[in-house]
Amino acid sequence: MLACMLVLAGMHLFPKNGNPDTVEHSPANSKCFKCHGRPTYTFYNKILGRNVTKRQNPYLMVDSVLFYESNHKSLECPDCHSYKYNHFPHNSELQLEPMPVCLDCHEGDDNYNFETINKEYQESVHAIRHKDAFSCFMCHDPHTYKINVRSDENIDKTIVYDNNICLSCHANFNKYQLISSKRNPNIIKQHDWLPNQIAHFAHVRCIECHTQTTNKTLVAHKVLPKEKAVKKCVECHSQNSILMASLYKFQAKEKRNKYGFFNAAILNNDSYVIGANRNLYLNYLSWVIFGLILLFIVIHAVLRILTK
């Protein structure tokens, strides 16, 4: 089951394209991708007097294809990393330098309201429990991150992409150990109470149940403790489904009620959420049928009394 979840998440452990030169990019980035965009790198060893090829650390590899599809594709590596990395071999002390945070570039951005996002994050279980050991980059890899929920009409792709962010840590023991000495919980067992797990994992994002939704940010960032996670079916399976305030909030308003369906936007996901997709016209029809049946019973009773 866990293996299926990882496949569903579409995780990329290695570059799609071993040759970053096939992707258009800046000369500054090209120099970095020659080593960090491939499984191996070659350098001249002055002591041996010859070129030496080494295996690249997989945690230091960047998929150049994904980078040039990301939100930061217009940036160059030195914009975030020290210009001193231009010298090879790199000085090991450079790893101790603090990386810039999101607000260093995005402060005052009215389109995304990063100040509110940061405030929500500071109130999240991640920030409260892990303090400075946790950062935005734990979830949002700046080399590959792209806004998906507003730009993709295919909700299923959005669900896979966003759940991949959570699974990249909660289904990856090595990454989980970066911030916790505890044993990584088994996602499947933790959700044993959830009926039809496969359908829920495929059609709902983790954050739908594990965050406090607001209208102030594009995506909720206040991750709640597991005790406060949504567990009542009616929260989603009702006319006032919380999915309309989170996963489907970016769907066009005219799609929300179409052909008489409540929350018609949810139908775009090729899924049926019991209780949330009721049809207004079918409701009226059921009342008409109920009324006719009741009228028939009354007429029948009156005729029986008269004929008796």
216-265 per-position pLDDT tens digit: 787 889 999 989 999 988 888 887 788 877 777 766 444 555 555 555 55
Q: What is the DSSP string of 4-69?
A: HHHHHHT--SS-S-S-GGGS---HHHHHHHHHHTSSEEEEEETTTTEEEEEEPPGGG---HHHHTT
67-118 per-position pLDDT tens digit: 999 989 999 999 999 989 988 888 889 988 888 888 888 888 777 788 999 9
Per-residue pLDDT band at 17 (split at 50, 70, 90):
very low
Q: Is the separation of the CB atoms in 23 and 29 below 8 Å?
A: no
Alpha helices in the chain (DSSP H): 2-9, 27-36, 64-67, 102-106, 114-122, 125-130, 155-170, 173-176, 187-190, 197-203, 206-210, 264-267, 280-307
Rounded CA-CA distance 78/75 in Å is 8
48-70 per-position pLDDT tens digit: 999 999 999 998 999 999 999 99
- Joined together, the tokens standing for residue 91 give 């000085």
